[in-house]
Amino acid sequence: MKAEKSILSGKHFFQGDTACAEGGIYAGCRFFGGYPITPATEVAERMAERLPAIGGIYIQMEDEIASMCAVLGAAWGGRKSMTSTSGPGFSLMMENFGLGIMTETPCVLVNVQRAGPSTGLPTAVGQGDMMQARWGSHGVYEVIALCPSSPQEAFNLTVRAFNLSEKYRLPVLVMMDEVVGHMTEKVVIPEPGELEVVPRRESRVAPDAYLPFKPDADLVPPMVRAGQGYHIHVTGLTHDERGYPVITKEAQEKLVRRLCDKIRVNRKDILSWEEREAENADVLVVAYGITARIAMLPIQMARKKGLKVGLFRLITAWPFPEERLRKLAGTVGGVVVPEINYGQMVFEVERCVAGKAPVRLVSHMGGSTHRPEDILNAIMDVAKNK
Q: Which residues contact 101 (CB under 8 A, 6 or more apart)?
A: 137, 141, 143, 170, 171, 259
Closest CB 64 distance from another protein, rounded Å: 10
**Residue 135 burial class via C-beta count within 10 angstroms: exposed 0-12, middle 13-18, buried 19 and up:** middle
CB of 76 to another protein, least distance (A): 6
- Shortest CB 152 distance to another protein, Å: 28
Amino acid at 351: R
Which strand (E) or helix (H) includes residue 80?
A: strand 80-85
- Report which of 162, 39, 171 is spatially closest to residue 99, judged by C-alpha positions: 171
> What sign for the dihedral angle of Cα 65, 67, 70, 75?
negative
Check whether the bond before 117 is cis (ω within 30° of 0).
yes
> What three-state secondary structure class fits 309?
strand
Give the CA dihedral 74, 262, 164, 122, nearest 10 degrees. Answer: 70
The Cα 17–Cα 176 span in angstroms is 9
Q: Beta strands 283-287 and 309-314: pairing type?
A: parallel
* Bridge partners (DSSP) listed for residue 81: 31
Return left, alpha or beta for 80; rule: phi > 0 is left, psi -120 to 50 is alpha, else beta: beta
**Rounded-to-integer distance, Cα 145 and Cα 176, Å:** 10
Using the minimum distance from each CB to another protein, give the nearer residue, 140 or 354.
140
Return the number of the residue (202 or 218) whose C-beta is nearest another protein: 202
Closest approach, Cβ 186 to another protein, in A, equals 29
In the complex with another protein, which residue's Cβ is closer, 85 or 316? Answer: 85
The secondary structure element, H or E, covering residue 135 is helix 130-135
Contact criterion met (CB below 8 Å) for 26 and 7: yes
* Separation between Cα atoms, residue 40 and residue 34, nearest integer Å: 10
- C-alpha 19/C-alpha 40 separation (Å) is 12
* Residues written for the chain: 386
* Least distance in angstroms from the C-beta of 48 to another protein: 11
* Binding residues vs another protein (CB under 8 A): 1, 31, 33, 52-55, 57, 59, 61-63, 65-67, 69-79, 81, 95-96, 98-99, 225-237, 244-245
Question: Smallest distance from the beta carbon of 214 to another protein, in angstroms?
Answer: 16
* Shortest spacing between CB 132 and another protein, in angstroms: 18
Q: Give the phi and the psi of residue 82 in degrees, each rounded to 5.
A: -150, 165
Question: Minimum CB separation from another protein for residue 247, in Å?
Answer: 10
Minimum Å gap between C-beta 63 and another protein is: 7
Q: Which is nearer to another protein, 54 or 260 (CB)?
A: 54
Closer residue to another protein, CB minimum distance, 30 or 182: 30
Pick between residue 252 and residue 363 the one whose CB is nearest to another protein: 252
